[in-house]
Amino acid sequence: MSPRSIRSALAQSSDGPVPCVPRGIRARYAPHVKMPVLPVPVRLRPPLWALATALLTLGAAQARPVAIGGSVQAASVGTRLLGGAEMLPVWSLPRLGVEVRNDPQDLRLKWGARELRYAPERGWRALGLSLNGSLPAPQLQGQSLYAPLAALRLLGVPLEADTPGLLAFSAPLRVPGETLPPSPDLPPVLSSPTAPSPVVPTTFSADAVTTAPPPTQTTLGPVPVFGNQLQTVRVNRELHRQVETQRVVLELSAPVVHEVQRITDGLAVRLPGVGLTPGEQALPSGDRLTLEQDAGGGWVRLHTGEGRSEVFTLADPPRIVIDTVTQLSREVPPPLDPQALPAGVTYRQLGGLHLLSFDPARFQARVVSAPRGSFAEVAQLVTQTGGVAGVNASYFDLASALPVDLVVSGGLMTAASLEKRATVGLLPGGGLIFGYPRPRYRVRGAFGEVQANAVTSRARPEWLTAFVGDGQTLVGAAGLLTLHVQLGAGTVTRAVSGPHVPPAGTLTLTFDPARFAQLPRQAGEPLDVGLDWRTDDAPWPQTRDALSAGPLLVQAGRPVTDPRREGFDTGASIWRPTRQVALGLWRGQPTIAYLEHGTPEAFAAALVQAGLSDACGSTAAAAPPPTARAATATSAATSTRCGAARCPTPSCSCRR
């Protein structure tokens, strides 16, 4: 098995079965919706504060897996017992919010105003706190530096759980992106003076650089001593669901104008006039890093397989950064590429909040669903609708994979409303409306009018049951009559006794003729059927598509989250701090909003701060981030041309 296959298998094994969850949580549980669904990592319910406080006093006697923000991390992030102490890899600490300098000769760990520094000749030094007792020395395992867990405790890095089987950290408010400079209280590293070359502040895509392989290393004589040196190579790897992000940082003693070349399974970076120590190393991701020296300078070759790399430079100190993103599963949509979005689509990121907005003059949102009872890749569904992006939305029943709340598509209500959750309606002109409609099918004729009791294929003799055919599901029963109708047509198109399969998209009404004697019996008889929204809080009769999910987060620019009104159990997992997705309006533009981690209340506050006037949440406990080649929307908004996940129940689609 290749390293990539091994990593994919490990990543997939972290997904455990999830009980009844929001629509789109697990691909295999989402058979009929047009929204991208990502496999969800194992989730941990945040412990009670009192329990967490008690657990913080407990120690660990063995290596343990690590969870961050409720998500269990890859095995490489777990603790190790080294030198008699429990240690964590330094490269993983930024995802806890810790700023680091990952250097065995000059280790720096910084949390807010507190900092710990370590140098072999001086030991540990503390800034902004006191060293009570001694800390274990960091350990170098292979090419990875490990810091003691005791150092993180001393810095005050928050823990959610500290048990013999798990070490759980809180999700950080910010993940540092820069390495700390050398410690100012240590003597500088001396190097031969050389005139620095200007740093080229450009960004390259590995797919766009020279495709010819670099020349094979040859040495015709002694290799000269170069003044500019490759001082440190730092590697950081993160796994978010099935997308791996690896960062390789080449830290130099002076700036250099580098050259990027594409090779068969990765890329090579030429460092003219730079000295380095030749060698080869297998990285935690399974990629292979090779350092070579010749008479003209150094070569850094990174063999990434199917990963897509980007190279850019940073200053002070001079660095060359290689970021590689690899999809470990084809069922996971790739990360959104802001540079590939078409005209009329705007992407913004505000900390952990991501916003994708669409010009309503160019894009029209739609609710779309996979065939009833079947799976379909989101990319396939999006392409079929002729759209540009898609995202998962709403909630579904785990056993049947059917929606549990209102779904209206093309003017037909395919799933009935719970009549308590917030709803998003999609207007023909591209706009959105929000409110609490309670739609029912209403049947009118010379006899007066009657209201449908349910929307389901399972008819009951005492009810008038509506259902929208899918071309494969039976309706009716012995002794019951089923009428085929069209909204606004005014007549019965067909009347069938007993069970049968109506054509896809056909609205049917099934009833007991003895109980509903006033209803027609034959095709051609007059009968008018319409959708009564039963509210005036928005122009719902104008909508052709709608979804209920909730909660309503923002209205008229103010946070309005009210779990009691909408029947949400704030003590259940659905209301825990996790990923959040919403559909809203930003400056009149339909907008997909995605929060990396937080509660619905925190999500609403972030949306207000970002300038959204209205917003309704969806798929809160398992929402995937928006993925798109051009646009996306959720919870009753867009779904077209996005990733490659399979989903259940309805989602949205945005078309030009």
Domain termination site, one of 327, 349, 376: 327
Q: E-strand spans in 202-339? A: 204-205, 228-240, 243-252, 259-263, 266-272, 274-275, 279-282, 288-294, 297-303, 308-314, 319-327
472 is in which domain, residue-wise?
A: 440-532
Largest CA distance in the chain: 103
Query: DSSP string covering 587-641, please?
Result: TTEEEEEEEEEE-HHHHHHHHHHTTEEEEEEESTTTPPPPEESS----SSS-B-S
Residue in this structure with the two tokens 């520094």, named with its chain if needed? 117
Are residue 55 and residue 137 in the same domain, yes or no?
yes
CB 611, CB 359: distance < 8 Å: no
How high is the mean pLDDT in each 10-residue block of the chain (656 residues)?
37 32 28 30 29 29 81 84 91 90 91 92 90 88 87 92 89 79 70 34 36 42 78 85 85 92 90 92 89 92 87 90 83 66 89 90 85 67 76 73 88 93 91 94 94 94 95 94 93 96 95 96 95 92 91 96 92 84 93 89 96 86 46 30 36 56
CB 223, CB 294: distance < 8 Å: yes
Are residue 378 and residue 252 in the same domain, yes or no?
no
What whole-number distance in Å separates Cα of residue 129 and Cα of residue 137? 18
Residue 157 within any structural domain of the chain: yes
Q: Which of 251, 268, 256, 284 is nearest to 204 (CA)?
A: 268
- At 9-26, the pLDDT tens digits run 333 333 333 333 333 222
Residue 73 within any structural domain of the chain: yes
φ, ψ (nearest 5 deg) of residue 382: -65, -45
Sign of CA dihedral 437, 443, 444, 449: negative
Are residue 430 and residue 447 in the same domain, yes or no?
no
Beta pairing class for 274-275 and 228-240: parallel
Distance of CA 135 to the CA centre of its chain: 38
Task: Give CA separation, 107 vs 54, 138, 146, 147, in Å.
Answer: 31, 8, 10, 9
Which alpha helices (H) appear in 314-420, and where do they start and end? 378-385
CATH number at residue 316: 2.60.40
Are residue 427 and residue 554 in the same domain, yes or no?
yes
Are residue 108 and residue 145 in the same domain, yes or no?
yes
Task: Give CA separation, 92 vs 188, 310, 365, in Å.
Answer: 26, 21, 40
Residue 30 within any structural domain of the chain: no
Are residue 444 and residue 298 in the same domain, yes or no?
no
Query: Residue 404's CB: how many other CB atoms inside 10 A?
Result: 21
Are residue 487 and residue 631 in the same domain, yes or no?
no
What whole-number distance in Å separates Cα of residue 246 and Cα of residue 328? 13
What whole-number distance in Å separates Cα of residue 75 and Cα of residue 64? 9
Residue 6 within any structural domain of the chain: no
Are residue 488 and residue 383 in the same domain, yes or no?
no
Tokens of 389: 């992006």
- At 295-334, the pLDDT tens digits run 889 999 999 887 888 899 998 889 999 999 887 776 555 6
Task: Give CA separation, 326 vs 4, 35, 206, 246, 426, in Å.
Answer: 9, 22, 13, 8, 35
CB 631, CB 645: distance < 8 Å: no
Instruction: Using a cut of 0.85, tell me whether the model's pTM lies above it.
Output: no
Domain termination site, one of 532, 563, 578: 532
Query: Residue 613's CB: how many other CB atoms inside 10 A?
Result: 18
Residue 333 within any structural domain of the chain: no
Tokens of 238: 């993160």
Query: Residue 185's CB: how many other CB atoms inside 10 A?
Result: 11
Q: Which of 626, 599, 630 is nearest to 24 (CA)?
A: 626
Q: What is the pLDDT of residue 188?
A: 52
Dihedral angle over CA of 578, 584, 587, 588, nearest 10: 170
The contacts of residue 14 (CB under 8 Å, 6+ apart) are 41, 42, 72, 74
Query: DSSP string covering 401-449, please?
Result: --BSS-EEETTEEEE---SSS-EEEE-TTS-EEEE----EEEEEETTEE
Residue 182 within any structural domain of the chain: no
Beta pairing class for 454-455 and 465-468: parallel
Are residue 236 and residue 310 in the same domain, yes or no?
yes
Query: Residue 549's CB: how many other CB atoms inside 10 A?
Result: 31
Are residue 606 and residue 528 in the same domain, yes or no?
no
Residue 72 within any structural domain of the chain: yes
Query: Residue 456's CB: how many other CB atoms inside 10 A?
Result: 17
Are residue 448 and residue 481 in the same domain, yes or no?
yes
Q: Which of 84, 82, 80, 106 is nearest to 92 (CA)?
A: 80
Are residue 527 and residue 545 in the same domain, yes or no?
no
Domain termination site, one of 276, 292, 327: 327
Which alpha helices (H) appear in 95-157, and where do they start and end? 149-155
Residue 179 within any structural domain of the chain: no
Question: Can you tell me whether residue 651 is helix, strand or coil?
Answer: strand
Q: How many residues does the chain have?
A: 656
Sign of CA dihedral 339, 342, 344, 349: negative
What is the count of structural domains for the chain?
A: 4
Tokens of 51: 């329990």
Residue 317: asked if its preceding bond is cis (omega within 30°), the reply is yes
Q: How is residue 94 annotated by DSSP?
A: G
CB 620, CB 597: distance < 8 Å: no
Kindly tell me the number of DSSP H helices and DSSP E strands found in the chain: 6, 47
